[in-house]
Amino acid sequence: MRRIFVILGMLAIVAGISVLAYQYRAHLPVRIAEPLGLRADISDIRSKQVPLLTRAFAQHGLAFGAPVFLRIFKEESVLELWVENDGTFNLFKTYPICHFSGDLGPKLREGDGQSPEGIYHVPKSALNPNSSFHLSFNLGFPNAFDQSLGRTGSFLMVHGNCVSIGCYAMTDPLIEEIYVLVEAALAHGQDRVPVHAFPFRLTESRIKEAAQSPWHGFWQDLQPIYQAFESTKKVPTVSIKDQKYHLN
């Protein structure tokens, strides 16, 4: 009899866990709630995207595999992809960001739900074709600047699935394009793909509008970097000194 009660008790516990798991799963976004183990097939994605993007590049007078540069603007919720041609960068496409989390302003600590702002770089080792979020690449947060201020966080990505807790999430078709272009640039010799993540376009007028923000000083430090690219269409060289970004 005692054994029967033990078995019944164990069954009740398992049933309770199953109910809780189902309730938790029901509140997740649809793409997260999909069964684990579903991964993008990068070979299929390349076979589909490379011919399309090669033709699209040719129509713009660009070479597939040329160096690329990404800019993110939170306020507009867009990601720009620029491609180098004859020493300067040309805008290839502006992609809508499906979702990012937090407000305007930098990421400060692990778990704050903020998407980062600043100057980041994506090496080949940051690419993840086996991501749980379709495809992804790591932005490298915290970088040396973030670390100098004691900021913490991990696995801050640009990825698919349209779900974000601190990342910049795209739709799956868009991350496929972006990922393949970043991957091709790195495969053809680009050392790192620069990514500039800004709160908004750092024009004089917009900076003045943000004068009361606690991040006004931080955004002013980023402004020369933004303006340098706007005027030259060349990715500026940036250094970090005294807990600030500096335009070289």
Which whole number is the average pLDDT over 23-29?
34
pLDDT at res. 24: 33
Residues marked active site are found at 159, 167
The confidence band for 42, taking pLDDT boundaries of 50, 70 and 90, is very high
Which candidate, 174, 194, 175, places its Cα nearest to that of 136?
Answer: 175
Per the rule left: phi > 0, alpha: psi between -120 and 50, beta: everything else, 210 is alpha
Percent of the chain residues past pLDDT 70, beyond the cut? 84
Percent of the chain residues past pLDDT 90, beyond the cut? 83
Average pLDDT, the chain: 88
**What's the fold here for domain 42-247?**
L,D-transpeptidase catalytic domain-like (2.40.440)
Give the β-pairing of 238-241 and 244-247. Answer: antiparallel
pLDDT at 34 over 50: no
The least confident of 4-8, 108-112, 194-198 is: 4-8
What is the distance between the alpha carbons of residues 175 and 160, in angstroms, rounded to a whole number? 6
What is the distance between the alpha carbons of residues 41 and 133, in angstroms, rounded to a whole number? 12
pLDDT at res. 38: 53
pLDDT tens sequence across 65-86: 999 999 999 999 999 999 999 9
pLDDT at 22 over 70: no
Which whole number is the average pLDDT over 115-138?
97
The reported pTM is 0.84
pLDDT at res. 16: 46
pLDDT at 217 over 80: yes
Which whole number is the average pLDDT over 99-116?
96
pLDDT at res. 41: 92
The neighbour count for residue 164, using CB atoms within 10 Å, is: 23
